[in-house]
Amino acid sequence: MRLVVCGASGVWDELVAADSRATPFHDWSFLRDIAARSGWRFRPLLAVADGHPVGVVPVLSLRRIPMTPPLPFPYLGPLVPSQHLRGTLSVLRRWQVRHAHLLFRAAFSPQQPPPPAESDPGLEVDVEPTYVLDLSHGDESTYLSGLHSDRRAALRRAARSGITTRPSLPGEALAVLPQVMQRSFERHDAEAPRSVTAIAEYLDERMGSDGRLIVETVLEHEQPVGLLVGVRHGDRAYGWVGGTLPESLRTGASTAAYDAVIRRALHDGVLSFDFYGHVDAGVGRFKASFGAEQQPFWTLRSSLVPRRLAVLRRRSTWRRPGGRVQ
């Protein structure tokens, strides 16, 4: 096994299109555009076995810091056949050392097998829950009957509170998404990814022409209080970014936002909707209450920093509202 730089999008796109486990976040044009807007460097690596490319290994890295940043892209990681995953991770680890990337992160969708880590002490694999809603019935009434009673009550409460949803208008993502994301992350004592503004700009430019995007604005008495983004790929859709302002949570606005995105995905013939991730127990219960089933996915962390030093570094950080500060 070896890794080579992919010089053109054609080979990359063919490999992604041929793999049923691919996500929209493996798309060459998406990664290139987001990297250019965010100050990251997109390194399109191909996994090559016996002289033939067998999969893609997307790497987004910060230009000034030798590490892969935390990315708000679900399941962005190596996309290779299962029999080549161990070999790919081994050569990727050597690539990381050679290019002095202190930390590399990746994620693997529920459709992918867990990455093997026992062969290298520098690799750490964690299992996390996500929630996947079955839409293969293709029927809106079946979807509604699967909602838990608290979700149905929240939809009624939203209607009484003047909450409505509609497809987002041009310019609305940049006006609403950064504010919503920052406020949402602050509620969990965390800092919103710096890429949020770049994502909002990307959405405003593409939502009219990219049929994969499902972007819904939430309004309270005609004033925007939230925005939620879903992305389709093949017969699956993924919840990506967005939410509602904290002061609108009691109105059922979050439930209305997800309901709108799920219904649009259902009408487009999507067979499943992946809410992506867990955050905490409360968010997990919220996602499950749409009738979604919990499924595992795997994250991988490859660090060149000795474990003892990494622990000391984490202990030396202190928290303040909005994130971590050294």
Domain tally, the chain:
2
Q: Does 160 map to a domain?
A: yes
For residue 3, the surrounding DSSP H or E stretch is strand 2-5
42: domain range? 2-128+298-320
On whether both 145 and 118 belong to a single domain, the answer is: no
**pLDDT for 132-176, tens place per residue?**
999 999 999 999 999 999 999 999 999 999 999 999 998 999 999
Q: How many CB atoms lie within 10 A of CB 326?
A: 6
Q: Does 285 map to a domain?
A: no
pLDDT of residue 272: 97
On whether both 123 and 182 belong to a single domain, the answer is: no
pLDDT of residue 121: 72
Looking at the whole model, is its pTM more than 0.95? no
On whether both 114 and 200 belong to a single domain, the answer is: no
On whether both 124 and 140 belong to a single domain, the answer is: no
* C-alpha span between 66 and 74 (Å, rounded): 22
Please give the structure tokens belonging to residue 254: 């979050």
On whether both 113 and 152 belong to a single domain, the answer is: no
Share of the chain above pLDDT 70, in %: 88
Tell me: pLDDT of 313 over 50. no
* C-alpha span between 178 and 309 (Å, rounded): 34
Q: Does 156 map to a domain?
A: yes
Q: Which of 270, 286, 306 is the last residue of a domain?
A: 270
pLDDT of residue 318: 30
On whether both 104 and 151 belong to a single domain, the answer is: no
pLDDT of residue 35: 84
Q: Does 205 map to a domain?
A: yes
Q: Does 98 map to a domain?
A: yes
The residue-averaged pLDDT of 52-81 equals: 81
Q: What angle do CA 68, 300, 38 make, to 5 degrees?
A: 25
CATH number, residue 7: 3.40.630.30
According to DSSP H, which parts of the chain are helical? 9-18, 28-38, 85-98, 140-145, 149-160, 172-187, 196-206, 253-267, 281-288, 307-315
On whether both 142 and 265 belong to a single domain, the answer is: yes
On whether both 115 and 46 belong to a single domain, the answer is: yes
Per DSSP, the three-state class of 284 is: helix
On whether both 112 and 149 belong to a single domain, the answer is: no
* C-alpha span between 60 and 51 (Å, rounded): 25
Q: What angle do CA 105, 110, 114 make, to 5 degrees?
A: 60
On whether both 29 and 108 belong to a single domain, the answer is: yes
On whether both 115 and 159 belong to a single domain, the answer is: no
On whether both 144 and 63 belong to a single domain, the answer is: no
Q: Does 281 map to a domain?
A: no
